[in-house]
């Protein structure tokens, strides 16, 4: 593995990027910096008016000032009956004047789980899977015989207690050594590890459950998870820029390069991390998409085009349990927020259902009100993998869902 090391001090890197951004005009979809772009949504077949001026200003401010020491670039797409706005900031490649493409493809990380959840629930709808039947019925050789029954519903809602392989793929030292390793489906699990809790008692968010969900899809259909997702969701919705890449390490088509800021001998350089084998993340976090495709997906999901109401209700129901925190102190317990493939949160009095996801160099999210009046998709090119959600993402979400949305 070769690391691209430009041997420039971090201060010089930032200065060069800022200079490039100024010269390039920090171009968004329109020819001006961070310009709002009214647009028609192919998914809802309506002409979309611009967002109110104050909302546009808030979004422009949310992604202004890029690149900086934490983020190289960003793109934002806000859509819905209340108006539309699209904008980008920063640069697509270190040291260049090229802006982040509005149609950029990016690694969506754990937003993949939403696609896997829909795929499983489609199989539930057609009678191929029973949500309340133990996973052991479908995958009898997956878990040790002494494990208690774990239902499909518990797998989809992260309440199984299962554990994944004990590796931190977002730790730079691990990533640089193993970024091109190939993992076969199921190797991402530690099935011999004890359950974190009895199934159904707590919620523990992670990839393990959705690796099991991918195995379930393959077992029931007799086909690869990637192909089932394509045939079930991507092709019917015309999501031509979205892929489940398998072991392909590249992002094909327009995209912003991803970097990690690495300090050696007192100097910080940007190392290109765009390419990596996504098989470790597989059915939990491997997919690549665009803002336009993800918006189309949200519209199809919440308008009932992907699932019957009974199965959609499963995605809109958070289990009534506490989040697993590793201790037995009930005074610091926090209620679960994840459903089957989605997360519920309230902002400015608005209830939003969506999903975030990140991979090295990419931190992203999608979310919508269930009436589709306001929808958001964003991608931020972070420079420090494995860190909490960057501040810019929080600003974007807050600006996209103001009061009275």
User: In this structure, are strands 343-347 and 259-264 parallel, antiparallel, or unpaired?
Assistant: unpaired
* Non-local CB neighbours of 25 within 8 Å, separated by 6+ positions: 31, 32, 33, 99
| C-alpha torsion 141→189→244→121, nearest 10 | 60
pLDDT in tens, 121-160: 999 999 999 999 999 999 999 999 999 999 999 999 999 9
Does the pLDDT at position 372 exceed 70?
yes
Annotate 163-183 with DSSP letters as a single string: -B-S--TTSHHHHHHHTT---
Structure-block tokens of residue 304: 């009932």
State pLDDT tens for residues 296-317.
Answer: 999 999 999 999 999 999 999 9
pLDDT digits 0-9 by tens, 25-83: 333 333 223 333 333 223 333 468 999 999 999 999 999 999 999 999 999 999 998 89
Residue 403: the pLDDT is: 84
pLDDT at 201: 97
In angstroms, the CA 238 to CA 142 distance is: 35
pLDDT score at 20: 34
Q: Which two tokens stand for residue 243?
A: 């892929």
Q: Could you read off the pLDDT of 206-254 as tens digits, one per residue?
A: 999 999 999 999 999 999 999 999 999 999 999 999 999 999 999 999 9
Instruction: Please answer whether residues 25 and 32 qualify as being in contact, where contact means their C-beta atoms are separated by less than 8 angstroms.
Output: yes
pLDDT at 328: 85
CA distance 5 to 320: 49
pLDDT value at 12 more than 60 = no
Kindly list the structural domains of the chain, giving each domain's residue range(s) and its CATH number in brackets, ordered by start: 10-71+86-357+365-400 (3.40.710.10)
Q: What is the mean pLDDT of the chain?
A: 89
Q: In 39-147, which ranges are continuous DSSP H helix?
A: 53-62, 112-125, 135-138
Instruction: Supply the pTM of this predicted model.
Output: 0.89
Contact predicate 381/361, CB 8 Å: yes
**Tokens at residue 221, please?**
């259909």
Q: Which pLDDT score is estimated for 47?
A: 61
What is residue 39's predicted lDDT score, i.e. its pLDDT? 33
**What pLDDT is stored for residue 261 in this prediction?**
97
CB of 67 closer than 8 Å to CB of 18: yes
Euclidean distance between CA atoms 101 and 189, whole angstroms: 36
């Amino acid at each position: 593995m070769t690391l691209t090391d430009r041997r420039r001090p971090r201060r010089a890197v930032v200065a060069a990027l800022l200079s490039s951004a100024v010269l390039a005009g920090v171009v968004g979809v329109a020819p001006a910096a961070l310009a709002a772009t009214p647009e028609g949504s192919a998914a809802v077949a309506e002409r979309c008016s611009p967002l109110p001026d104050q909302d546009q200003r808030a979004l422009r401010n949310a992604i202004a000032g890029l690149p900086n020491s934490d983020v190289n670039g960003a793109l934002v797409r806000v859509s819905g009956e209340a108006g539309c706005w699209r904008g980008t900031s920063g640069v697509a490649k270190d040291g260049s004047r090229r802006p982040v493409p509005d149609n950029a493809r990016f690694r969506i990380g754990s937003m993949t789980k939403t696609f896997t959840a829909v795929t499983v629930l489609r199989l539930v709808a057609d009678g191929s899977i029973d949500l309340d039947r133990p996973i052991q019925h479908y995958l009898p050789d997956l878990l040790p015989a002494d494990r208690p029954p774990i239902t499909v519903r518990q797998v989809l809602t992260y309440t199984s207690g299962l554990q994944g392989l004990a590796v931190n793929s977002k730790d730079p030292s691990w990533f640089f050594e193993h970024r091109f390793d190939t993992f076969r489906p199921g190797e991402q699990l530690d099935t011999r590890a004890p359950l974190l809790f009895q199934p159904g008692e707590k919620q523990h968010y992670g990839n393990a459950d959705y690796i099991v969900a991918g195995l379930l899809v393959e077992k029931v259909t007799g086909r690869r998870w990637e192909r089932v997702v394509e045939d079930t969701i991507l092709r019917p919705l015309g999501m031509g820029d979205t892929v489940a890449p398998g072991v392909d390490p590249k992002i094909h088509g327009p995209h912003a390069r991803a970097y990690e800021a690495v300090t050696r001998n007192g100097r910080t350089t940007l190392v290109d991390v765009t390419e990596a084998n996504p098989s470790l993340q597989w059915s939990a976090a491997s997919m690549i998409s665009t803002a336009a495709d993800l918006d189309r997906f949200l519209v199809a999901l919440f308008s009932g085009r992907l699932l019957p109401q009974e199965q959609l209700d499963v995605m809109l129901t958070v289990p009534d349990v506490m989040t697993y925190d590793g201790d037995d102190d009930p005074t610091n317990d926090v209620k679960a927020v994840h459903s089957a493939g989605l997360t519920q949160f309230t902002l400015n009095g608005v209830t939003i259902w969506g999903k975030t996801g990140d991979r090295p160099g990419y931190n992203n999210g999608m979310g919508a009100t269930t009436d589709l009046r306001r929808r958001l998709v964003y991608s931020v090119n972070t420079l420090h993998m494995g860190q909490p959600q960057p501040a810019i993402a929080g600003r974007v979400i807050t600006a996209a869902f103001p009061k009275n949305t």
